[in-house]
Amino acid sequence: MRFLILALSLAIDALTVPTPLQSTDFVAPDTSLWEGPPRFTGLTIPEFCRKNPGALHCPGKLDSGNALLTAKNIMVTENKNSATLPNQLQVGWDSNYAGKTTEESTIALFDFPAGMEGKQCRFQFISDPAIDVVKFMPAGAFNVWKLGQPKVAWDQKITWDNKPQREVVLATFLTDKELINDSMNGKWQHKFYYGPGYRTQRYSRVNTFDCPKAGKIAYEVASGIKMTGEEIEGSKIIVRGERAGLGIEIIGLKSQW
């Protein structure tokens, strides 16, 4: 464990990480288009989730009692101009038979509600222990990137080539099983190592950020350490819950759970 934290520290220190700013080829169905609320916001709790709070497609219930805004996940793959699996977060590295390494990352699209000006927000990363963590959640470090201006409107098809450019790492979360807490409905909340995230391990004075303005906002979730060769095997994380993955906790906005 100490070795992992040391390795992560060295890897993150190698990045230019300023203070967080304010503010498979198979396609079925195409999820690279923005579909907007209410399906992906997570603020409204479906009746099904009230009866089955731990179900795969239900949002996390935070012990803080604050609302959790969830994202629509669009997985993009280097050198592939297609969307991939429906609303699934997948992040890591892959290689072909020739040994060429390619990257997979996920664009997390949020439709931020109005009236949150002046509130503070915090990143959360939620996974499902029964599905995601046991089979598809190896230990590692993963970055949340601030993105530049969109190259196409969010209601257009999003691909690796036309996604916004990465600008700066806002936060880094860890997937080591020793650094996971249970949410109030049995989901797993992953601790952050850097930036304004849940129980940040480092730079703890920066644990919130000014909530974004109302409207569409996106972040990119990507691997924090490049893998090559045999390292790639088993290094990828996959989150399949519809309201799982990267989320934004709105401090002071009461959850509807």
Tokens of 68: 């959790």
The chain-wide mean pLDDT, for the chain, equals 79
Per-residue model confidence (pLDDT) at position 159 = 87
Of residues 211 and 14, the one with the higher pLDDT is 211
Q: For position 39, what pLDDT does the model report?
A: 52
Residues 236/152/244/229 CA torsion (nearest 10 deg): 0
Smallest Cα–Cα separation from 9: which of 169, 202, 220? 202
The per-residue pLDDT for range 157-190, each reduced to its tens digit, is 888 889 999 999 999 999 888 888 899 999 999 9
* Chain position carrying tokens 């609303």: 87
Share of the chain above pLDDT 90, in %: 37
What pLDDT score does 32 carry?
62
Is the model's pLDDT at 55 over the cut of 60?
Answer: yes
Q: What is the pLDDT of residues 213-255, one digit of tens each?
A: 998 999 999 998 877 666 666 667 778 777 889 999 999 999 9
What's the chain's length in residues?
Answer: 257
Say whether pLDDT at 257 is over 80.
yes
For the cut 70, the answer to whether the pLDDT of residue 199 exceeds it is yes
Q: Which of 19-23, 69-73, 137-141 reaches the highest mean pLDDT?
A: 69-73
Q: What's the rounded mean pLDDT across residues 63-83?
A: 85
The label of the residue with tokens 């509807």 reads 256
**Domain edges within the chain:** 2-254
